[in-house]
Amino acid sequence: MTFKPEHLKQVSTRSELIELAREHNIPIDKTIRQLQYEKELEQLQIEMVNLQKWVARTGRRLAIIFEGRDAAGKGGSIKRFKEHLNPRSSRVVALSKPTAVERGQWYFRRYIKVLPNPGEMVFFDRSWYNRAVVEPVNGFCTDEEYEIFMSQVNEFEKMLIQSNTHLIKIYFSITKKEQASRFKDIKSNPLKKWKMTAVDERAQELWDDYTTYKERMFEKTNTKHAPWKVINANDKAPARLETIQYILGKIPYE
């Protein structure tokens, strides 16, 4: 059993919440873990606000890439990271598939247009790394296009960093079993069904192919100037806390 809205309306302190848990046979350990998570998340969100102030004051650019398998929790994490940030200087970028015109352009051009401006933070819910994993696995690009991307991406990122942009690359890692469980939850939830795409439907079937291209991506693009941070995302709460801590630790903000 878990807390219901009418339960939470009855309490105003931590001790009352714990007592309520006992009365309704709600696991105390689970309650305490949730309370600890909420408290630590709040403190980290405060630091994210401080980081944003520093970015705005110094005119720096901050681009944070979130990659991972389908249903790894990228979007939900981004939501928690920026829910208290000033929307005037923070954005979420989640591009749809390229248009016919964009298909004929240099691949990175569509991403250049949405990079952070001076004093701005941008969260990428998937990024140019679509071409490193999702596109080749699903046949959305040619072998030549894939190879060209892999030969250019490191220099592209080096240019961004040399142009006063802080680039952080996060990869949310989940198991095949956990992905299947989350897909099941998405399909059964009327508020989440929209998240399930044709690509998602084939993700379990193509699991090994995704693994192969993911490992190639890490081998080629885990560079000194733009390393990957892999987060164990099977448990969403600690994954979110670890990710924010990592971001805060990578930026020399005041």
Residue-range domain boundaries for the chain: 48-250
Strand ranges in the chain using DSSP code E only, listed in sequence order: 61-68, 90-93, 120-125, 165-173, 228-232
Give the mean pLDDT of 86-94.
97
Give the mean pLDDT of 92-113.
96
The model's pLDDT over 174-222, given as tens digits with 9 standing for 90+, comes to: 999 999 999 999 999 999 999 999 999 999 999 999 999 999 999 999 9
pLDDT confidence of 127, banded at 50, 70, 90? Answer: very high
b/e for 97-128, b at 16 or more Cβ within 10 A?
ebeeeeeeeebbebbeeebbeebbbbbbbbbb
Cα gap 129→249, rounded to integer Å: 23
Give the mean pLDDT of 134-157.
98
Nearest CA among 54, 249, 63, 216 for reference residue 135: 216
pLDDT at 176: 98
The model's pLDDT over 5-34, given as tens digits with 9 standing for 90+, comes to: 666 667 777 787 778 778 878 777 777 788
Indicate the class that CATH gives domain 48-250.
alpha beta
pLDDT confidence of 56, banded at 50, 70, 90? Answer: very high
